[in-house]
Amino acid sequence: MKKLALVLIILIICFSFSSSILAQTIELEFFQNKREAVATFDKLIEKFESENPKIKIEQNHVPDAETVLKSRLARNRIPDIMGLGGNFTYGQIADAGILMNFDQASYLDLTQAAYRKMLKDLQKNEINYGIPYTANANTVLYNKDKFAELGLKIPKTWDQFIKTAETIKENGETPFYLTYKDAWTIMIPWNALAANLQGENFIEQKNAKKTTFQSRYQAVAQKMYQLLDYGQDDIFGFSYEQGNQAFAQGKSLMYIQGVWAINPILKANPDLNLGAFALPATNQKEQNKLVSGVDTVLTISKNTAHPKAAEKFIQFLLQEENAKFYINEQLTFSAVKNVFQNDPTVVDLKEYFEKGKIAAFPDHYYPTGIEVPNLLQGFLHRGNIEQFLKELDSEWNKVQSR
């Protein structure tokens, strides 16, 4: 009987001890919106947990992440830590008053001021509700070997760009592979052109009803339509994935896409000698800018039960070694100071970052509810510039009046 009692006491002690250990383990949800980054974040989380064994990070990625997150916010089920796109939706969430204020966080200064400003411009106030982590860029991907065969150089002005396309066409090749079956891909050239041609303070003046698409976007629409002359047959019949495969197979010499397309293209053809340059939207070489924005902004719920542990994870991600690991795996750019992308495929973009010749994605500031990709798709089918720009103004006004 005494032995049984002793065994029970030991079991109780062991259970209490194990329960105490479990109670000390903090579990945090990390909700992030990038499917292609899941494996990379898994590796970083594994490293973080090995250094911080009492903190467990559960990564959560779901399809249509923004819609799911909005639904969760409505039910007050806010994730502890979030990795979101730096777009209009982020601005809405920041304005909702549910995110941590990072103004006094010392690690905020580890990030580049230009990207912090882009995030603030999405909000109604000047508070830092997020930490810019990575940046992406809209580019023109090109086949270096075929460019060399035709004696072509990277164009620096719009006229040079069109001349390059003409030369390619004259030599029996396809200049661009356009994938306008997926309407969102039309936004790649649209953003590159609009960012450089819409003029100063377009969004602010548009919101204040002091300007219109009809008055400021004529050149943008004209050049969008001009690009159609240099695409393959049936530009509305091919998807993004098909475009990646086609470009990898050499079916065009240029491909207007974001840097995120580089990895899948090289996976399809590892031997492709691939490069990237900024689409030159104007004939003023020095005025042309690379369109780049916050690809991932890190933030924390202000009501998380474990703010210090959540901040510890963000600080870990911001460490130069870890920030470098992320951009190398994802072939993107870092918003962390002194962390540069040196991959040879994007070396021609480096000067834009070094000189600060960066412009934000215009569509990140368009109100939710304006289906610009679908409107663009219709415009490129019909070709009526005036009707298209009137539609944009009309849809913007409808959203503003709600």
Amino acid at 163: K
| Residue 302 confidence (pLDDT) | 95
Q: List all residues 6 or more positions away from 210 whose beta carbon is below 8 Å from its beta carbon.
A: none
Report the sign of the C-alpha dihedral through residues 394, 395, 396, 397, in that order: positive
Whether 130 has a pLDDT exceeding 60, the answer reads yes
Report long-range pairs for 206-214 (Cβ below 8 Å, ≥24 apart). 206/396, 207/400, 212/389, 212/393, 213/389, 213/392, 213/393, 213/396, 214/386, 214/389, 214/390, 214/393
- Fold of the 137-291+362-401 domain: D-Maltodextrin-Binding Protein; domain 2 (3.40.190)
Chain Cα centroid distance, residue 43? 21
- Does the structure show a pLDDT above 50 at 388? yes
Residue 368 has pLDDT above 90, yes or no: no
CA dihedral 194, 195, 198, 200 (to 10 degrees): 170
pLDDT per residue as tens digits for the range 52-99: 999 999 999 988 888 888 888 888 899 999 999 998 889 999 999 999
For 250-289, the pLDDT digits (tens) are 999 999 999 989 989 999 999 999 999 999 999 999 999 9
Residue 401 has pLDDT above 90, yes or no: no
Question: pLDDT at position 48, please?
Answer: 98
The token pair that represents 390 in the structure block: 């009137």
Q: Cα dihedral angle (241, 244, 248, 251), rounded to 10 degrees? A: 100
The reported pLDDT for the residue numbered 355 is 83
Q: What is residue 200's DSSP assignment?
A: T
- Under 8 Å between Cβ of 224 and 190: yes
Is the CATH number of domain 27-136+293-349 1.10.10.10? no
Q: Determine the Cα–Cα distance for residues 208 and 203; give it in Å rounded to an integer.
A: 8
When pLDDT is cut at 50, 70 and 90, the band that residue 21 belongs to is: very low
What are the tokens at 288? 């042309």
Q: Does residue 14 carry a pLDDT above 70?
A: no
Predicted local confidence at residue 40, as pLDDT: 95
Q: How does pLDDT run across 218-253, given as a tens digit for each residue? A: 999 999 999 999 999 999 999 999 999 999 999 999
Q: Which long-range contacts (CB under 8 A, 24 or more apart) does 377-381 make?
A: 377/180, 377/183, 377/186, 377/236, 379/221, 379/224, 379/225, 380/180, 380/186, 380/224, 380/225, 380/228, 380/236, 381/236
Per-residue pLDDT band for 20 (boundaries 50, 70, 90) equals: very low
pLDDT tier at 9 (50, 70, 90 boundaries)?
A: low
pLDDT of amino acid 19: 47
The DSSP string of 142-168 is EEHHHHHHTT-----SHHHHHHHHHHH
Domains of the chain, by residue range, sit at 27-136+293-349, 137-291+362-401
Q: How far apart are the first and last CA of the chain?
A: 77
Average pLDDT, the chain: 91
- What is residue 139's predicted lDDT score, i.e. its pLDDT? 96
pLDDT the model gives residue 3: 54
Instruction: Encode 157-184: b = buried (16+ Cβ within 10 Å), e = exposed.
Output: bbebbbebbeebeeeebbbbbbbbbbbe
Q: Is the pTM of this model over 0.95?
A: no
| Shared fold status for 27-136+293-349 and 137-291+362-401 | yes
